[in-house]
Amino acid sequence: MLNSLFIKNYALIEQLNVDFKDGFSIITGETGAGKSILLGALGLVLGKRADLSILKNKEKKCVIEAEFAIKNYDLKNFFEENDLDFENQTIIRREILPSGKSRSYINDTPAKLNILNALSEKLIDIHSQYQTLELSNTNFQFKIIDALSSNQEIVSEYRLHLKSYQNLVKKLEKLEAFDRESKLQLDYNLHLLQELQKAELIEEEQEIIEQKIEKLNNVESIKLHLAQTIDIGSNEEIGIQNLLSECNSNLMKIVDFSDEYSEIQKRLESISIEFNDIIQDLESFQDDVVFEPTELENLNDRLQIIYSLQKKHHVDSNSELLKIQEELEQKVDAATHSTENISLLKEEIEAKEQILNELALQLHEKRKNTLQELKDKLETKLATLGMVNARFKIDITLSDTYTENGKDVLKLLFSANKGENYGELKKVASGGEMSRIMLSVKAILSNYTKLPTIIFDEIDTGVSGEISNKMGEIMEKMSENMQVITISHLPQIAAKGNHHYKVYKEDILEETYSRLKKLTKPERIHEIAEMLGGKDLSDSAVAHAKKLLN
């Protein structure tokens, strides 16, 4: 249940802190006093979107905080699934900053709006005048029937399988589209693949071939420079090898005189050895440099094959060609195996359809068994609200289509008076009748759903007199199982509350503020008397107010 609500810098509210009790609470006040502001603030803390227009002081942040007692409502799993700390007294806080940014917290843990929305559905039902239109919504009608049928677990299981089924169907549609497209392209892709496979490409091959061709095209120059280098290095008279050898001999004669000389001699000897190896390698290179026209022709032919493939596929390297080859292999493989994959997927879809059909049939049978009970309960409730001739015609038939509510097609028709044709609620029921029907529905649901709190926002619109008295009795009865908070403009309903709060405006200097206070018994008498007879209180209005409260 809702324990308390704290509001700061919201609309006409500078700061407000109100404690709520269990049972039946009433909120009254003149039109425009700020009753809707309270619901707007509560809606924000429960996950509705906000904008900067709600800030009273545009330079300060808006803070709304609601505390809920949730010990007895089996919500621990929800908190664990969403990585939240579970507390018997759970606090939800929402902050709207002057920059426009919004922050939300559940027990001081940051939470996204979708989490707030999901949690709020388990904590509180805020019925607005607009929500009465839901009566004509098929999903809402199924919700009523499923509550009476105890179908919640079956519906949840069905929807999980439905989501999986829909994903499989989408997957099949994509696979079939791919199959059609890939088969059109199969011959061409296969030709491209075979062409690349025949080329037997190697990743670094192009660079190696280009180097070999460059070498063969410059054989004479290479041989000339190798010969000159070898001659400079190994000439018997002035060659570098002989000069290094002479240097080494000279140093050998003084190595015993100093470690420094010995070290430099070793370094020179190392250079001499390395240089000798270089000359040997150059001589080996010289032997290998042979002009081979046939090899050059073969290398050029191979390079032209590579260049041609690169040009055809608009790439610059063998690595890119090999990547294209891999992609073509996958496409060809997918095209050749897609029929098999489609067949397997269809089998999986058929198995899922069997599960859905079984669950949908269970829902259908349980719903059918509940229709008469729902019809009787609704008509009985409405009779107490002055609609003695109200009748419902509810019919459920099985279709071939899967929806989120199973395979049922629901037709709920209504007639308010004797001899009147049945029709859709939104077409044949007046505003006052819709309010009474919705209250009856909520009263019935309260016996089947474990919801902590319900708030009615002027559900008494369009009714008066004895009917409003009966509506008050129904809400009073509902408050035995849950916390009921009602915003009302009718004294008959206001008098039935266990607790009574008044919303009013107060002008201070150049600003208007919305206030809320819990009324004492004398204040309740005064408020209800005003609701009965206006600001100028008469003795009869006061007496009537006392009678209503008693």
Give φ, ψ of 417 to 5 degrees.
Answer: -135, 155
Give the residue-averaged pLDDT of 158-168.
96
Beta bridge partners of residue 5, listed in sequence order? 18, 66
> What span, in angstroms and rounded, lies between the C-alpha atoms of 160 and 167?
11
Give φ, ψ of 271 to 5 degrees.
Answer: -60, -40
> What span, in angstroms and rounded, lies between the C-alpha atoms of 127 and 455?
6
Phi-psi region of 362 (alpha: psi -120 to 50; beta: other; left: phi over 0): alpha
Query: In this predicted model, what pLDDT tens digit does every residue of 181-196 receive, in sequence order?
Result: 777 777 788 888 889 9
The pLDDT of residue 169 is 95
**Tokens at 292, concatenated:** 């081979």
The pLDDT of residue 104 is 93
Beta bridge partners of residue 429, listed in sequence order? none
**Residue 285, pLDDT above cutoff 90:** no
Residue 410: pLDDT band with limits 50, 70, 90: very high
**Residue 335, pLDDT above cutoff 90:** no
- Which amino acid is residue 502, in one-letter code? K
Task: Report the SS3 class of residue 53.
Answer: helix
**Cα–Cα distance list, 228 to 140, 242, 289 (Å):** 98, 16, 14
Residues of the chain with CATH 3.40.50.300: 1-129+451-519
| Percentage of the chain exceeding pLDDT 90 | 48
Angle in degrees, CA 304, 305, 311, rounded to 5 = 85
Q: Which fold has domain 1-129+451-519?
A: Rossmann fold (3.40.50)
Query: In this predicted model, what pLDDT tens digit does every residue of 415-465 receive, in sequence order?
Result: 999 888 999 888 888 888 888 999 999 999 888 877 899 999 888 877 777
> What span, in angstroms and rounded, lies between the C-alpha atoms of 455 and 450?
15
Give φ, ψ of 127 to 5 degrees.
Answer: -95, 115
pTM: 0.69
> What span, in angstroms and rounded, lies between the C-alpha atoms of 328 and 333?
8
**Residue 381, pLDDT above cutoff 90:** yes
